[in-house]
C-alpha cells in the first residue's frame, strides 16, 4: 500500500486544476471526470510518451484510430454483447448495489447490515445506444468497452495496405466506456476512461519469447513514467482466473493509495479474436510469411494500458511532503518530461514595469522553445513557489533587478528548492 492518502491526491487535483468531478456544477455524474488545464497536459504527456515509445520509435508498429461506435456484430462475435458481465449484488436493507467480487458480502459496506445480499445477478457493462433515427434491434450499437476490437477489425486493412513483416503490432489510444457497478477510488474505476492498447501479431511457435520481450518493454515504460520499481508487482494470473483462450496473462499491479491493484494487463490471447472475426465475417484473416514458408492466422500478445490508472500511479509516485524553513511543503516530483508546466516565469515584483517587460520577454522566448511554460505573477514569490511545487513545475524563473544589468535570472529548483543564477541566453539555448 502506498503511504500517500487518496483524499490528499483528490484534493490537490481539484485545487490545482488537474481533475474535477464530471458535471460537477449539476451535482456530478458518477464515474465521470473532467480534466482541467494541468490534468489534460499531464494526460497528453503520458499518452504522447506511450505513442512515441511504442509506435514512433519502433519499426514494427502501426497506429490506428478506429470509430468508437462499431457494428453490433463486432460485439456479438467478441462475446461482449452477452458476456461482458460483472456479478451484481443488492443489499435488501439499503438497496445499495455492489460488484460481488469487490466486497465482503457478509456485511453491507454502506449500511452495515449482516447477510443482506441475495445471489448475484449478471450485469452487462456495455452502454447501449441506437444508431440512426429508428430504435430497433438492427440499429443497436454500443459505446466500445475497449479499444482492442477496433484494432482487430483493422488487422486485415493494415496487412493489405502495408504488407508488414511478422511480428508486427497495431496500436490504438482512445476512449472506452464501461457501466461499472460501483465506480470508485477517484479515476481508478471510471465509467468513461481512456485506453492505450496494442495487439502484437506473432507466429504461434514463437509466442513465449515475444511475450517475455513485452514484459521488459512494459517495465522500461513504467520506468519512464517515474514509477518506483518496488511499487510495481507482476502477478502471473492462475489458469483458473484467466480467460479460457489465454495461455498466459500478467496483471501488472501497482501500490495505489487504496491498495495494490491492476495498473495494466499483458495477455497472450492466441488466435481467439482473429478466428472469431474470420468465422463471423467469412473473411480470411490469414497471414502469409514473406518467404512463403507458411500461411496462418497470427496469434496475439496484448499489452493493455489504462490512462487513468497510469495518471493515478504517476501522481501517487510523484506526491512528496517535506519541510522547508520549518514549514510543511507538498509537491509533485514529476519527471520533467511529464510535468504540465516546465518553467514558470515571473517578475520579482509586479509594480516595476521594466521588470515585467523583461520577464515577458524571457517568458516568450522560453515558451517558443518549450511550449509548456507558464506566466505566474500571482501573490508573492513564496506563494508562487508553493503553487508551482504543487503543480510539479521543475523550474521557477524569476526576473529581478540584476537581470536588467547582466541578463541573468534566478532559477529555483523544485526538488532542492535551491536557487542559482543563469544567463537567459544559456537557458533558452540549453
Ligand atoms: P478490473 O479487473 O480492474 O475491472 P479489467 O481486468 O476488467 O480491470 P481490462 O479489461 O484488462 O481490465 O482493461 C485493460 C486496462 O484498462 C486495465 O488494466 C485498466 O488500466 C483499464 N481499465 C479497465 N477498466 C477501467 C475502468 N473502469 N476505469 C479506468 N480504467 C480501466
Name the burial class of residue 2, with classes exposed (0-12), middle (13-18) and buried (19+) by CB atoms within 10 angstroms of its CB.
buried
User: Whose C-alpha lies nearest to ligand 1, atom 27?
Assistant: 189
Q: How far is the CA of 137 from the centre of ligand 1 (A)?
A: 29
Report the residue among 35, 302, 304 best suited for mutation to probe ligand 1: largest number of ligand atoms under 8 A from its CB: 304
Which band of pLDDT confidence, cut at 50, 70 and 90, is reported for residue 42? very high
- Using a pLDDT cut of 70, give the percent of the chain over it: 99
What is the rounded CA–CA span in Å between residue 45 and residue 338?
5
* Predicted pLDDT of residue 429: 84
Range 36-46 average pLDDT: 98
Average pLDDT over residues 340-366: 96
Ligand 1 pocket mutation, candidates 191, 193, 227, 249, criterion most atoms within 8 A of CB:
193
User: For 341-429, which CATH class?
Assistant: alpha beta
Residue 188 Cα, ligand 1 centroid: separation in angstroms? 9
Ligand 1 center to 306 CA (angstroms): 7
At 244-268, the pLDDT tens digits run 889 999 999 999 999 999 999 999 9
| C-beta of residue 271 within 8 angstroms of C-beta of residue 281 | no
Kindly report whether the peptide bond that precedes residue 167 is cis, defined as omega within 30 degrees of 0. yes
Which residues contact residue 410 at a Cβ distance below 8 angstroms, ignoring those fewer than 6 apart? 397, 398, 400, 419, 420, 421
Q: For residue 38, which of 415, 390, 394, 396 has the smallest C-alpha distance?
A: 390
**pLDDT tens digit sequence for 379-423:** 899 999 999 999 999 999 999 999 999 999 999 999 999 999 999
Atom from ligand 1 closest to the CA of residue 261: 3
In the prediction, which pLDDT does 244 show? 85
| CA distance linking residue 20 with residue 34, whole number of Å | 5
User: pLDDT above 90 covers what percent of the chain?
Assistant: 94
Task: Give DSSP secondary structure letters for 27-68.
Answer: T--TT-EEE-HHHHHHHHHHHHHHHIIIIIT-SSEEE----S
pLDDT value for 1: 58
What are the φ and ψ backbone dihedral angles of 191, each rounded to 5 degrees? -95, -25
Question: Would you say 299 and 168 are in contact if contact means Cβ atoms under 8 Å apart?
Answer: no
Task: State mean pLDDT over 160-182.
Answer: 97
Residue of 80, 148, 306, 307 to mutate, ligand 1, most atoms within 8 A of C-beta? 306
- pLDDT for 360 equals 97
- 276 vs 60: CA distance, rounded Å: 24
- The pLDDT-based confidence of 102 (bands split at 50, 70, 90) is confident
Q: How many CB atoms lie within 10 A of CB 74?
A: 22
pLDDT tens for 282-325 read 999 999 999 999 999 999 999 999 999 999 999 999 999 999 88
CA neighbor of 415 nearest in space, from 326, 320, 342: 320
Residues with CB under 6 A from ligand 1: 178, 180, 189-190, 193, 195, 262, 264-265, 304, 306, 308-309
d(CA 85, CA 421): 60
Mean pLDDT of 54-79: 97
d(CA 58, CA 53): 7
**pLDDT greater than 80 at residue 5:** yes
Could you tell me the residue ranges of all domains in the chain? Answer: 6-71+143-316, 341-429
User: What is the model's pLDDT at position 21?
Assistant: 97
**In this structure, are strands 140-143 and 121-124 parallel, antiparallel, or unpaired?**
unpaired
How far is residue 123's CA from residue 83's CA, in Å, rounded to a whole number?
9
Testing ligand 1's pocket by substitution, the residue of 103, 262, 301, 307 carrying the most ligand atoms inside 8 A of its CB is: 262
- Whether the pLDDT of residue 219 is over 90: the answer is yes
**How high is the pLDDT of residue 7?**
95
Query: How sure is the predictor about 108, in pLDDT bands with cuts at 50, 70 and 90?
Result: very high
Alpha-carbon span 367 to 362, nearest angstrom? 8
Say which residues have a Cβ less than 8 Å from residue 223's Cβ, sequence separation at least 6.
229
How much is the average pLDDT of 204-230? 97
As a whole number, mean pLDDT of residues 373-377 equals 96
Query: Residue 263 Cα, ligand 1 centroid: separation in angstroms?
Result: 8
Confidence check: pLDDT of 430 > 80: no
Fold of 6-71+143-316: BirA Bifunctional Protein; domain 2 (3.30.930)
Amino acid at each position: 500500500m502506498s503511504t500517500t492518502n487518496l483524499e490528499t491526491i483528490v484534493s490537490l487535483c481539484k485545487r490545482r486544476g488537474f481533475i474535477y468531478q464530471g458535471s460537477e456544477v449539476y451535482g456530478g455524474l458518477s464515474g465521470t471526470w473532467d480534466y482541467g488545464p494541468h490534468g489534460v497536459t499531464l494526460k497528453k504527456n503520458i499518452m504522447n510518451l506511450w505513442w512515441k515509445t511504442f509506435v514512433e520509435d519502433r519499426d514494427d508498429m502501426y497506429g490506428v484510430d478506429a470509430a468508437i461506435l462499431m457494428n453490433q456484430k463486432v460485439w456479438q462475435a467478441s462475446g461482449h454483447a452477452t458476456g461482458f458481465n460483472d456479478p451484481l449484488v443488492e443489499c435488501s436493507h439499503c438497496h445499495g448495489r455492489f460488484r460481488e467480487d469487490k466486497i465482503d458480502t457478509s456485511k453491507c459496506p454502506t449500511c452495515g447490515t449482516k447477510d443482506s445480499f441475495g445471489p448475484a445477478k449478471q450485469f452487462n457493462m456495455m452502454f447501449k445506444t441506437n444508431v440512426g433515427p429508428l430504435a430497433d434491434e438492427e440499429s443497436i450499437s454500443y459505446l466500445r468497452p475497449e479499444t482492442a476490437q477496433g484494432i482487430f477489425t483493422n488487422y486485415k486493412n493494415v496487412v493489405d495496405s502495408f504488407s508488414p513483416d511478422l511480428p508486427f503490432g497495431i496500436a490504438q489510444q482512445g476512449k472506452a466506456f464501461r457501466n461499472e457497478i460501483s465506480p470508485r477510488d477517484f479515476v481508478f474505476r471510471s465509467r468513461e476512461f481512456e485506453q492505450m492498447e496494442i495487439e502484437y501479431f506473432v507466429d504461434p511457435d514463437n509466442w513465449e519469447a515475444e511475450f517475455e520481450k513485452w514484459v521488459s518493454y512494459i517495465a522500461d515504460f513504467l520506468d519512464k513514467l517515474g514509477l518506483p520499481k518496488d511499487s510495481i508487482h507482476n502477478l502471473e494470473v492462475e489458469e483458473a482466473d484467466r480467460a479460457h483462450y489465454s495461455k498466459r496473462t500478467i496483471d501488472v499491479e501497482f501500490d495505489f493509495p487504496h491498495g495494490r491493484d491492476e495498473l495494466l494487463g499483458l495477455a497472450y490471447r492466441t488466435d481467439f479474436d482473429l478466428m472469431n472475426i474470420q468465422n463471423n465475417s467469412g473473411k480470411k484473416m490469414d497471414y502469409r510469411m514473406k518467404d512463403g514458408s507458411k500461411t496462418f492466422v497470427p496469434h496475439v500478445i496484448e499489452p493493455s494500458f489504462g490512462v487513468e490508472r497510469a495518471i493515478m500511479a504517476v501522481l501517487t509516485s510523484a506526491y512528496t511532503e517535506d519541510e522547508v524553513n520549518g514549514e510543511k511543503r507538498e509537491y509533485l516530483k514529476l519527471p520533467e518530461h511529464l510535468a504540465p508546466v516546465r518553467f514558470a516565469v515571473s517578475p520579482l515584483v509586479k509594480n516595476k514595469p521594466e521588470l515585467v517587460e523583461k520577464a515577458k520577454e524571457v517568458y516568450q522566448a522560453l515558451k517558443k522553445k518549450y511550449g509548456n511554460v507558464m506566466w505566474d505573477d500571482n501573490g508573492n514569490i513564496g506563494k508562487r513557489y508553493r503553487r508551482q511545487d504543487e503543480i510539479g513545475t521543475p523550474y521557477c524563473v524569476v526576473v529581478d533587478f540584476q537581470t536588467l544589468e547582466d541578463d541573468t535570472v534566478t532559477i529555483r529548483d523544485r526538488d532542492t528548492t535551491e536557487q542559482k543564477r543563469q544567463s537567459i541566453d544559456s537557458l533558452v539555448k540549453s
